[in-house]
Amino acid sequence: MTSLPRPKPDPVRPARRVAAGEHGLRGTLTGEARELRARGRRIIDLGLGDPAAHGISAPPTVEAALRQRLDDTRGYSDEAGHLSVRAAVAEHFRTRRGLPGIGPSDVWLGNGVSELALLTLQALLDPGDEVLVPDPGYPMWSAYTGLCGGIAVPYPCTEADGWRPDLDVLTRLAGPRTRALVVINPVNPTGAVWPPETLGELAGVARAHGLVLFSDEIYDGIRYVPGPHVPLAALAPDLLCLTFGGLSKFCRVPGLRAGWVVACRPPGVARAYLDALTSLAALRLSPNTAGQYAIPAALSAPALRNAAALTAPGGALHEARTAARTAMARQPGLRCSPQEGAFYAFPRLDLPAGVTADDFARRLLRERSVLVVPGGHFGTADALDAHLRLTTLAPPAETTAAFEQIGDLLDEVRSEHAEEGGATAGPASSFP
Ligand code: PLP
């Protein structure tokens, strides 16, 4: 009898730190959706937060600037980005964000917030250093912390509190190894906008524990609540607050990979750290030059007006959000906190015991051709396993159709479970 040859151990193994940077950023189902599409299936994609993919075009001034500057985009720029572009970002922060001291040397440009988040964490963290990250929150922050050898410590934000942080718990989580506190506002995935009081309290925690604030404000221009966006840095003038933003969301050009980080701080603070950041920025030579040239145009008054119109009645984001709210209100098995900013809905599903949002999302793709991200990808709390994150970017008819599919599948899952004798609330919702 001949025995089958044993498979040889694969000699190429990935670095262990990659496992520490595990994330579900694009969701586990993206690959499967791609294959289904390749086989001709039409998928309603409410997965990735890419406005351009839903045909929401960039402001005309930005498109024009891109075309005009094409010839200038062949070379590298300075390591931190082109001086004139950094000056435009600094001016934006001084005149529109109420941060008077900011100059071009406080600004670093990068290939999206994604690259700058990695560089700024790499420059800060030693192995074992801890970073407080919102839970739920955008998983890039905990993934990069792990990749840099740090430990992401999730601080809970619960639905009962409007997805705002529990300050008592947060304070208890800050310890001797904690170096930084990440804030995302408006929040991906919950759509919450944290008010100035909450931001002030977070600044207080950073102050008490000597933490660097990392404020991811990439959705600052996408709000449905009255009043201007309040930057965290304005409430923490005595601390180093790194404020992140870019063109991927409000300007709808994520493919340009254009972002900035602004170091807001009292004079003289964090010099060595910021030199280390510049040194890491030099290692990648320069950010994408074409993306940089779009930034001054994106921060011009006409482009900002154009962006603001998106969230006003009649605007694409306003209409998609309204369609999502109306459609969710028709589904008794869905409940969703008001979406105050960004372009995501994060509804809770009244799932039968034992069925997770992961299971549900998989069936939703395979049987109903709708792609969403299960809530568990955004944090560690068990409660997230009953949530889905959906973008509110698609035209209203598509958004409505997607929620109808979700409602139908939910009914189907619940009645299957009831037939199997499982504990379920019956056709109506079991939400209190
Ligand atoms: N931060 C948050 C909260 C995000 O949601 C995203 C993308 O979805 C990013 C950062 C990454 O943005 P960028 O395209 O600038 O890398």
Beta-strand pair 344-345/388-391: antiparallel
Mean pLDDT in residue range 114-121: 98
Ligand 1 proximity of 248 Cβ (cutoff 6 Å): yes
Query: What separation in Å is there between the alpha carbon of 266 and the centre of ligand 1?
Result: 27
Query: What separation in Å is there between the alpha carbon of 140 and the centre of ligand 1?
Result: 8
Domain stops at, among 266, 301, 336: 301
Residue type, 374: P
Domain membership of residue 411 (yes or no) is: yes
Domain with 267 in it: 71-301
Do 207 and 237 fall within a single domain? yes
Domain membership of residue 327 (yes or no) is: yes
Mean pLDDT of the chain: 93
Domain stops at, among 236, 267, 301: 301
Stated as kind and residue range, the H or E segment containing 362 is: helix 357-368
Per the DSSP assignment, residues forming a β-bridge with 390 are 345
Do 88 and 217 fall within a single domain? yes
Do 319 and 189 fall within a single domain? no
Query: What separation in Å is there between the alpha carbon of 370 and the centre of ligand 1?
Result: 22
Mean pLDDT in residue range 357-367: 96
Instruction: Give CA–CA dist 99/261, Å, rounded.
Output: 14
Ligand 1 proximity of 146 Cβ (cutoff 6 Å): no
Lowest mean pLDDT among 91-95, 121-125, 360-364, 425-429: 425-429
Residue of 378, 413, 342 whose CA lies nearest to 159: 378
Q: In the chain, helix, strand, coil percent, each to 5?
A: 45, 15, 40
Ligand 1 proximity of 218 Cβ (cutoff 6 Å): yes
Domain membership of residue 76 (yes or no) is: yes
Ligand 1 proximity of 47 Cβ (cutoff 6 Å): no
CATH of the domain at 49: 3.90.1150.10
Residue of 388, 387, 383, 386 whose CA lies nearest to 373: 388
Query: What separation in Å is there between the alpha carbon of 72 and the centre of ligand 1?
Result: 27
**Which residue's alpha carbon is at the smallest distance from atom 12 of ligand 1?**
113
Residue 334 is given by DSSP the state: E
Do 225 and 159 fall within a single domain? yes
Instruction: Give CA–CA dist 40/117, Å, rounded.
Output: 37
pLDDT for 198-249, tens place per residue? Answer: 999 999 999 999 999 999 999 999 999 988 999 999 999 999 999 999 999 9
Q: Is residue 233 within 8 Å of residue 213, measured between CB atoms?
A: yes
